A and B are shown apart, each in its own frame.
Chain A
Amino acid sequence: MAEFAGHCPGLARDEIGWRIVRHAAWGETVEVALPELSEAQAAALCGQIRERARTALRRMAVARIVEAIDGATARLLDRSHPVRRKAEALLPVVTGYDRETVRLGLTGFLKTFRRPQLLRFLAEDFSDPGLLDGFRPAPKGGLVRAQGPDLLLHVWAGNVPALSLWSLVCGLLVKAGTVGKLASAEPLTAGWFAGLIAEQDPELGECLAAVWWKGGEGASEKVFLREADTVLAYGDDATLAALREKLPIGTRFLSHGHRIGFGVIAREALDRRRAPALARLAAQDVARYEQQGCYSPQMLFVERGGLVAPAEFARYLAHDLAALAARHPRRPLSPGEAAGVAAWRQAQELRDTADLLGEPADPWGVVVLDGDDTLRPSGLNRTVAVVAVDDLDAVPARVAPHRAFLQTAGVAASPERLLRLADGLAAVGVSRITAIGAMTRPEAGWHHDGRFSLLDLVTLTEIEAGAEAAAEGFAPYAD
């Protein structure tokens, strides 16, 4: 029996064409039915969502939306709730991540969508979130309000569990009529969440939909791309370029491309007590989500001159990756992924300055590089390079050539050196600096790729002070 994905208000199950996709991992299989709408259904859905957004959603107070999201999140956090149980049962098979990774990942991620975090999130982007509900006085004079797009299209990608909720929540907070395209590699959580929202607040549930089409081919694609006011898309450069090409000129296009994360470890963190603990945290960053996340580290720059040398740190790291593999087995690799890991190993073997730790059959790999290596992707799936550097100051230059791909840096250094390094990293385009061990867990209210998650979605309408003053002249009480 297939799990039906998505959320299509106004359409009965038997009216929709379902594409059945089979996922297999950990000795189990799951069939997922993806909702593929006809052109006419897509057009009707867009029209209906747009209309609901204009009439109902716009009149809802942000507080009510926060309430609904909080309620839906609470249910997904409740391990006895049927949807949460379904998520824990199905997501490991669909994404390939092991059960514990999925369970911990879901909880860690969902915690950032409770009411206090959502309010913080609003406060992060709006000095006065009330301007999402109506005109508010502007500091420069006059009044201002902010409105989300009538129809916001999310194009989700990737297999990181529940990642789609991030942009889904952003859209709802700014009262955008929402259509999401499910990610083929994790098509479930968005639909479940939408269903829980609809349960909390049926009126809000009618303002969002989650559908699927085959990227670049589906009949409904052109309808959705034509109808959307704003498109928020995830994917690799080629996918994003193809998508942008198809959008009408007036459509706002916000994109989050693939990224490469890295870590920086200062010599003061490399004493006998701290280094092993740090290696354990770094190993978790590497292993969590198998380096599929934009924030996942693929290279660690380790400073020379500490009590523990970079090569020794690499051995700690290798040891911890081996230990993690026992507790959190690496998911089975596809032939293409295996080829990626193999190619990475082979490339290291052919280098004279590389010391490769681990056997070919190990579900992880660490290489120690002693040259002037710049940032490069690893083979993913728990493969990582440890690059020895004489001084942290060298790191910004080592990553600068890849500015377009930069986002997260995990840093272990003293406060003074952290700030100094952060200056250098900010200058070359790093947008998030975090602790080693927290790389895959952005804080609530973070600015994804350094952008304003909410502000970027809204359009402001300003009543200038002059208009306000002139109106006084037309008031019935005007002299």
Chain B
Amino acid sequence: MAAETTERAEIVGALLDFLARPSATDAEFEAMALRVFAHQFRHNEPYRRFALRRGRTPLAVRRWRDIPAVPIKAFKDLILSCCPPEAAERVFMTSGTTGDARGRSYHPTMAVWDRSMRDNFRDRVMRGRAPIRMGILFPDDEALPNSSLARYLTLARREFGTAGSAGLVGPSGLDLAGLLTALADAEAAGEPYALLGASYAFVPVLDALAASGRRFALPEGSFVLDTGGFKGRSRELDPDAFYDGLSAAFGIARSACLNMYGMTELSTQFYDDGNAVYPSVKSGPHWIRSRVVDPLTGEDLPAGERGVLVHHDLAHFNAVSAILTEDAGEIVPGGFRLLGRVDGEASKGCSVAVAEFLAAARA
């Protein structure tokens, strides 16, 4: 046990060091990825079995691209953790609908996750600007200790928000009056304002503003950051209508409407540089890399071809760094484009396919 703790401390130390070196070369990324893979192969039993079946062991694998990617669904069925689950400081869980198992990510320490979030947010969202007054459209991480998004937003507010920042979703729901006051204050004072939260939480705000005919003209430097899509928690809005709506309601350009793409099964977030054009180009920091693969073969597809996204996140060291997502995407210069979900299709004939079968089982 002591040996394991030492080993973990070493890998955490090496990762924190790697995160602090944006100049790290491809070879250094590869070396770090192989080291993290060896760690996960040694300590994460289900992942080891998975890798063995694929014939991909630390001895056989020489390139980070060959490190076997685990389907995201596996986080629901298996305990993918190098540390014993009960030893985790935090467990993040996917939201999951009724009847579905929830995917879990175990974190023996939050040091790497927090550093990943902070450095990346600083570079991609703050971009040298002064701390800003924030409104958060999501509960905080005391209310939702198993939500990685709650953790993310709580950290954002604590690290980069001014004293006037506020959480606007409490036990009784959205504090619309508080939001309207904050927006009016910011507008009157000429002080930039940032509104951050789950995409679906913006929809009732837009609806309320539209119903009352109210519009704001937030000062220069203000921005909006949404994440996660609508997930059936609100009306589904067409992305262009959504960003047009945000732009019109708050008086900011669509280029100031940022979208964060993250998941419970990662320890790093991706950002775009605004949504003047949708779909925007997403990218992450130097410790995460993405591939687009053929769903059937798992082989890399050439840039510009649509396939399934695989993310390789060194910061997700305790679980599995290589994740095969259920998101469609394509590699483009500067990052990748997200092109929606990859869902199994219903039968073209009259046979039962998995989706219908599961729907019936849930009913």
For residue A281, CB closer than 8 A to chain B, the reply is no
Partner of B295, one of A237, A342, A377: A342
For residue A252, CB closer than 8 A to chain B, the reply is no
Contacts of B357 in A (CB 8 A): 260, 376-377, 402, 405
For residue B129, CB closer than 8 A to chain A, the reply is no
State which residues 313-357 of B face A: CB under 8 Å.
324, 326, 328, 342-354, 356-357
The smallest beta-carbon distance between B350 and chain A, in angstroms, is 4
For residue A326, CB closer than 8 A to chain B, the reply is no
Contacts of A361 in B (CB 8 A): 296-297
B344 touches A405 (CB 8 A): no
Residue of B nearest to A378 (CB): B354
What is the CA–CA distance of A349 and B74 in the complex, to the nearest angstrom? 10
State which residues 38-64 of B face A: CB under 8 Å.
46, 49-50, 53-54
Residue of B nearest to A361 (CB): B297
For residue A467, CB closer than 8 A to chain B, the reply is no
Residue of B nearest to A401 (CB): B361
Residue of B nearest to A292 (CB): B349
What is the CA–CA distance of A157 and B350 in the complex, to the nearest angstrom? 7
State which residues 271-303 of A face B: CB under 8 Å.
289-294, 296, 298
The smallest beta-carbon distance between B349 and chain A, in angstroms, is 3
A237 touches B349 (CB 8 A): no
A360 touches B297 (CB 8 A): yes
Partner of A341, one of B296, B298, B308, B326: B296
A339 touches B344 (CB 8 A): yes
Residue tally, chain A, CB below 8 Å to B: 53
For residue A236, CB closer than 8 A to chain B, the reply is yes
B354 touches A159 (CB 8 A): no
Residue of B nearest to A363 (CB): B296
A335 touches B306 (CB 8 A): yes
For residue A127, CB closer than 8 A to chain B, the reply is no
Task: Knowing A291-B351, A343-B344, say if A349 contacts B50 (CB, 8 Å).
Answer: yes
Task: Knowing A336-B344, A336-B345, A349-B53, say if A380 contacts B296 (CB, 8 Å).
Answer: no
B352 touches A405 (CB 8 A): yes
B73 touches A258 (CB 8 A): no
For residue A344, CB closer than 8 A to chain B, the reply is yes
The smallest beta-carbon distance between A164 and chain B, in angstroms, is 11
What is the CA–CA distance of A296 and B356 in the complex, to the nearest angstrom? 16
B295 touches A294 (CB 8 A): no
Chain A proximity mask over B284-312: 1 for CB below 8 Å, otherwise 0: 00000000001111100000001010000
For residue B359, CB closer than 8 A to chain A, the reply is yes
Task: Knowing A338-B296, A361-B297, A377-B352, say if A405 contacts B49 (CB, 8 Å).
Answer: no
For residue B78, CB closer than 8 A to chain A, the reply is yes
Partner of A339, one of B49, B343, B347: B343
Task: Knowing A158-B348, A298-B351, say if A237 contacts B50 (CB, 8 Å).
Answer: no
Chain B proximity mask over A375-419: 1 for CB below 8 Å, otherwise 0: 011011000000000000000000000101100000000000000
For residue A74, CB closer than 8 A to chain B, the reply is no
What is the CA–CA distance of A160 and B342 in the complex, to the nearest angstrom? 25
For residue B27, CB closer than 8 A to chain A, the reply is no
Contacts of B73 in A (CB 8 A): 343, 346-347, 350
Residue tally, chain B, CB below 8 Å to A: 37
What is the CA–CA distance of A345 and B298 in the complex, to the nearest angstrom? 11
Contacts of B77 in A (CB 8 A): 350
A352 touches B49 (CB 8 A): yes
Contacts of B294 in A (CB 8 A): 338
For residue B71, CB closer than 8 A to chain A, the reply is yes
B346 touches A236 (CB 8 A): yes
A346 touches B324 (CB 8 A): yes
Partner of A340, one of B54, B350, B354, B360: B354
A380 touches B351 (CB 8 A): yes
B349 touches A343 (CB 8 A): no
Residue of B nearest to A159 (CB): B348
A360 touches B351 (CB 8 A): no
Task: Knowing A237-B360, A292-B351, A294-B350, say if A335 contacts B297 (CB, 8 Å).
Answer: no
What is the CA–CA distance of A238 and B359 in the complex, to the nearest angstrom? 10
State which residues 318-349 of A face B: CB under 8 Å.
333-347, 349
For residue A58, CB closer than 8 A to chain B, the reply is no
A258 touches B306 (CB 8 A): no
Contacts of B354 in A (CB 8 A): 340, 343-344, 376-377, 379
What is the CA–CA distance of A350 and B52 in the complex, to the nearest angstrom? 11
State which residues 349-380 of A face B: CB under 8 Å.
349-350, 352, 360-361, 376-377, 379-380
Partner of B350, one of A290, A292, A360, A402: A292
B356 touches A237 (CB 8 A): yes
What is the CA–CA distance of A340 and B296 in the complex, to the nearest angstrom? 9
What is the CA–CA distance of A366 and B308 in the complex, to the nearest angstrom? 23
For residue A261, CB closer than 8 A to chain B, the reply is yes
What is the CA–CA distance of A158 and B346 in the complex, to the nearest angstrom? 10
A334 touches B345 (CB 8 A): yes
Task: Knowing A335-B306, A336-B344, A339-B342, say if A260 contacts B349 (CB, 8 Å).
Answer: no
The smallest beta-carbon distance between B186 and chain A, in angstroms, is 44
Residue of A nearest to B342 (CB): A339
For residue A185, CB closer than 8 A to chain B, the reply is yes
Residue of B nearest to A291 (CB): B351
Contacts of A224 in B (CB 8 A): none
For residue A313, CB closer than 8 A to chain B, the reply is no
Q: Which residues of A contact B (CB under 8 A)?
A: 96, 157-160, 163, 185, 234-238, 256-261, 289-294, 296, 298, 333-347, 349-350, 352, 360-361, 376-377, 379-380, 402, 404-405
15 contacts between A and B (CB under 8 A): A96-B348, A158-B350, A258-B350, A260-B357, A261-B351, A290-B349, A298-B352, A336-B342, A339-B326, A339-B344, A340-B354, A350-B77, A350-B78, A402-B357, A404-B360
For the complex of A and B, list the 5 residue pairs with the smallest distance between their C-beta atoms, beginning with the closest: A292-B349, A336-B345, A340-B344, A342-B295, A158-B349
